[in-house]
Structure 1
Amino acid sequence: MKVKATKHAPKKVLIIEDEGDLCLLLNILLDEKDMEVEHVQSLAKAEEYLLQEQPSLVLLDNRLPDGFGIDFISFIKKHHPATKVIMITGVDAAASDVAIENGADVFLKKPFTKAELFKSVNDVLN
């Protein structure tokens, strides 16, 4: 009997980042890893998205126009406990401990390499 190979559904990733260039770069990199990528540029839009969808992974910037990503981690974990969170920030390196305490799975400091991004994504999703 032949078993038909089924292609797994791409993992959903939400990028919450207000820097257009970084959004585009993350989108391109994750797209080549067979991931369904959406992005929003504010916590308000992220909240709307998360009330409709359940991503496997959220890439979360800390400094956003309407607040701090670090304070938004609890919202993500409350509504989607299984969703993994990678906190990304360039200026708040000291925030890594707080981000992890608040429920982030990984803290990625800007600037990061493609290899660091892929390792972080693979570590939390596998």
Structure 2
Amino acid sequence: MQPQATAQITPDQTCLIVEDSEFDQAMMTRVVGRSHGKMHVEVASTLESARAALDAGQVSLILLDNNLPDGIGANFALELASDPKHAATPVIMVSDWPTPFMWEKAASAGVLYVVNKAEFGVRYVEQALRGKQRKPLRPS
């Protein structure tokens, strides 16, 4: 059996975490930090601040909660998918309670994974950056 290739994560890559809970922001930052290599992390607690972060620089990966103070993450994923500047940016939705409706919107937006926060781990970050999956994947 061949060893599995690891994602090529470099310090010039940025992960944007869109999450309003400080506890969950810290958890996601730790997960990204455990990935192979170093990746810069930006945190946005609202969709408005996420849009500003995307306008300010290149983002390699977006970790997106669904319930945010100023909107729904799945709707934001659809917005990103329709924007040529951000359509190719991998998105992972990390939510407490993924619903069938959220799954449907995520699939329409090309979200790579919809993951329960308790299940979220390094493998999702690395697989997203390798670009192996291009559809929502339920945790195994």
> Which category describes the TM-score, using the shorter chain as reference length?
0.7 to 0.9
Greater Rg, structure 1 or structure 2?
1
Number of aligned residue pairs? 117
> After alignment, is 38-47 or 20-29 more displaced?
20-29
For structure 2, the 5+ residue unaligned runs are 1-8, 131-140
Considering Cα pairs closer than 8 Å and 6+ residues apart, tell me whether 1 or 2 has the greater RCO.
2
- Give the superposition deviation at 1:14: 0.2
| Contact 2:78–2:108 (Cα < 8 Å) also in 1 | no
TM-score, structure 1 length as denominator?
0.83
1:46 equivalent among 44, 50, 61: 50
TM-score, structure 2 length as denominator?
0.75
Q: After the TM superposition, list the runs of 4 or more consecutive aligned residues in structure 1 that deviate by more than 6 angstroms.
A: none
Richer in strand (by share):
1
Aligned partner letter, 2:15: V
1:18-97 equivalences under 5 Å are 18-33=20-35, 34-77=38-81, 78=83, 79-94=85-100, 95-97=102-104
Whole-angstrom CA distance in 2 between matches of 1:105 and 1:8 = 21
For structure 1, the 5+ residue unaligned runs are 1-6
Relative distance call for 1:91 and 1:51 in structure 2 (3 A) is same
Q: How much is the aligned-residue C-alpha RMSD, in angstroms? A: 1.8
